[in-house]
Amino acid sequence: METRARYALIGLFILAVIGAIFGFVYWLENKGGFGERETYRVQFESSVSGLLVGSAVLFNGIRVGDVTGIALNPAAPQQVIATIDVVKHTPIREDTRVNVEQQGLTGGVAITLTGGTSDAPIPANGGVATLIAPPGVGQDWTQSARDAFQQVETILNENAQPLNEAIENIEVFTDALARNADRVDGILAGIERMTGGGKGTAPLYSLKPAADLPPPEKAPDWQLIIPEPTTLLAFNTDKILTQPAPDESLPLENARWSDSLPILVQAKLLETFENAGYAQRVSRTIGDFASNYQLSIDIREFNVSTEGAPEAQIVILAKLLSPESEIIASRKFETSAPVQGSDVRDFVDGLSAAFDKVEREILDWTTTEIETAPVSVTVEPPAPLDDMPPAPDDAPADGELPPAP
């Protein structure tokens, strides 16, 4: 019997030690160890679902304490009072903001404290400082989603009739589109052609300046401006045009000039003059030269006639203006070139050959007209009165008649 009693005492002692160890660990975990603590109350005006005794208390993201108690306020059932213990000297002030946050997807709920000015007094209520959480701070995302869906449902109920009418109008519009699908495709294709669009990337083509030109016999002493040519709206484009009939114009599909036609013609004419040795005598802007001649170009026709055998046709009206903006001479340049095929490349080659003829003719005509143009005579203005010679001594004074002979 004594042996059994001794074993029983040993077993009870071991159980007591184990219980003491568990109690110490629980106290160490939930009371924060051996440091001094301060107790606060946190008053919530709404539900704090998920907040438990032992939940963490964070201040600016750092854990400073734990929740030691949660209870309802008997005087106000909508309120929840949580008691927290935090490390002493935690800078909690009257304006410290209180919130409840979920710690990760699987973590618990924690009370978070942020902010507060250093000189605000610590709140106190019945000997225990109390922090007031703003309304709705404990509301979780599911409740927020339910509230949002309720607001959406209210809006839908209030606007049910207008929404039904809008849906009916959309159905009528889609039915009309379905009935006129072919016409819509045609309209879109027309807009695409008008704006130069198309499937894939259209190749770009350019004109060539005249080359292998003889240099001038003597150094020119004139300056020439070649501004951007004028033309009709049909030719002010980067499309390569064909002429199936005298009063009809169609662009080639999937082919364009590298720039709008007037700018391209201007650039190639400038290069032609430069290739002939007039690089320092021609420019495209009036501001480059103080006194100069001006070559005005008007594009009347620049296309490929497909009525019968394809033929490139170019008609350009040129006017040469003096430095005083007077027309010295004008000429209509009209040429054509056969097109050796029906491909886009063949059409471009035909237009390039015709343009080469026009370039050379414009170059020769312009330089000849400038060289033979009459030189303008500059009339000196009368000298001012202050520069006139003095009157002789016997000249009559102002207002007197000259002496009789």
Tallying the residues shown for the chain, one arrives at 405
Identify the band that residue 321 occupies on the pLDDT scale cut at 50, 70 and 90: very high
pLDDT of residue 298: 96
pLDDT top residue among 192 and 179: 179
- Whether 352 has a pLDDT exceeding 90, the answer reads yes
Specify the CATH class of 204-372 in words: alpha beta
pLDDT of residue 303: 94
- Whether 87 has a pLDDT exceeding 50, the answer reads yes
pLDDT digits (tens, 9 = 90+) for 249-285: 899 888 899 999 999 999 999 999 999 999 888 998 7
pLDDT top residue among 186 and 106: 186
Query: How far is the C-alpha of 47 from the C-alpha of 24, rounded, in Å?
Result: 32
Decide: 366 and 295 in contact? Cβ < 8 Å.
yes
pLDDT of residue 361: 94
pLDDT digits (tens, 9 = 90+) for 133-166: 888 776 655 566 677 788 888 888 888 888 888 8
Q: Which of 146-160, 221-235, 285-299, 373-387 has the lowest mean pLDDT?
A: 373-387
pLDDT of residue 92: 84
207-216 average pLDDT score: 89
pLDDT digits (tens, 9 = 90+) for 231-251: 998 899 999 999 998 888 899
Q: Where in the chain is the domain with CATH 3.40.50.10610?
A: 204-372
Identify the band that residue 43 occupies on the pLDDT scale cut at 50, 70 and 90: confident
Q: Where in the chain is the domain with CATH 2.40.30?
A: 40-137
Q: Report the 3 state secondary structure along the chain.
A: CHHHHHHHHHHHHHHHHHHHHHHHHHHHHHHCCCCCEEEEEEEECCCCCCCCCCCEEEECCEEEEEEEEEEEECCEEEEEEEEEEEECCCCCCCCCEEEEEECCCCCCEEEEEECCCCCCCCCCECCEEEEECCCCCCCCHHHHHHHHHHHHHHHHHHCHHHHHHHHHHHHHHHHHHHHCHHHHHHHHHHHHHHCCCCCCCCCEECCCCCCCCCCCCCCCCCCEECCCCEECCCCCCCEEEEEEECCEEEEEEEEEECCCHHHHHHHHHHHHHHHHHHCCCEECCHHHCCCCEEEEEEEEEEEEECCCCCEEEEEEEEEEECCCCCEEEEEEEEEEEECCCCCHHHHHHHHHHHHHHHHHHHHHHHHHHHHHCCCCCCCCCCCCHHHCCCCCCCCCCCCCCCCCC
93-111 average pLDDT score: 79
Q: How far is CA 24 from CA 29, 54, 64, 66, in A?
A: 8, 15, 20, 16
Task: Please state, for a pLDDT cut of 70, what percent of the chain lies above it.
Answer: 79
CATH classification number, 40-137, choose in 1.10.10, 2.40.50, 2.40.30, 3.30.70: 2.40.30
pLDDT top residue among 93 and 381: 93
Identify the band that residue 332 occupies on the pLDDT scale cut at 50, 70 and 90: very high
pLDDT digits (tens, 9 = 90+) for 295-318: 999 999 999 999 888 999 999 999
pLDDT of residue 378: 43
155-184 average pLDDT score: 84
Task: Please state, for a pLDDT cut of 90, what percent of the chain lies above it.
Answer: 27
